[in-house]
Amino acid sequence: MTSPRTPYPSDVSDEEWALVAPYLTLLPEEAGQREHCLREVFNGLRYIIKTGAPWRWMPNDLPPWAAVYQQAQRWLNAGCFEELAHDLRAVLRLAVGR
């Protein structure tokens, strides 16, 4: 699902999203507990990381800062980013023949 807003330079591309989405989806889409689009939450996290802005300065056209912060904590606690980095490292090593 794409958003109607003007994209930020920090927004995830379709190709990047196809790579990271399986690692970030902790609940099935039909679980119905998601108030905000997961891709938009990830875009919010990338915005904060890329700009270095405080959480409370999240632009109003992204999900609320508290929702992005809470989801980022869930991802961190679940080890999503470590798993993604591990698998990506393995793929890159295979690509160079190691």
The one-letter amino acid code at 24 reads: L
Specify whether the CB–CB gap between 54 and 61 falls below 8 A. no
**46/66 Cα distance (integer angstroms):** 14
Q: pLDDT tens digits, the chain, 98 residues: what are they?
A: 555 799 999 999 999 999 999 999 887 666 656 789 999 999 999 999 999 999 999 999 999 999 999 999 999 999 999 999 999 999 999 998 88
Count of CB atoms situated within 10 Å of the CB of 56 = 9
- What global pTM score does this model have? 0.85
Backbone torsion region of residue 25, taken as left when φ is above 0, otherwise alpha when ψ lies between -120 and 50, otherwise beta: beta
Specify whether the CB–CB gap between 80 and 23 falls below 8 A. yes
Count of CB atoms situated within 10 Å of the CB of 36 = 14
For residue 34, the model assigns a pLDDT of 76
